Amino acid sequence: MQRFVARENVRRFKEQLKDCNDEGQRQTLSRLLAEEEAKLKKLLRGEVDWAA
């Protein structure tokens, strides 16, 4: 389930970045995207922190 949510978040953040014109919002979305991609990588490797 966590992998599904992470994949959907990555997809959603990428889609939002395409249409975003506000620089502050772009920075926030870029940061969130990077964090979620790192999280997904860990989940796919099996490095799961179930408390998070």
Pick from 4, 1, 34: which is nearest to 17 by CA?
Answer: 34
The answer to whether residue 52 scores a pLDDT higher than 80 is no
User: pLDDT tens digits, residue range 5-23?
Assistant: 999 999 999 999 999 999 9
Give the mean pLDDT of the chain: 91
DSSP 50: T
Q: Where are the domains of the chain?
A: 2-45
Residue 40: its H or E element: helix 23-45
The pTM score is 0.83
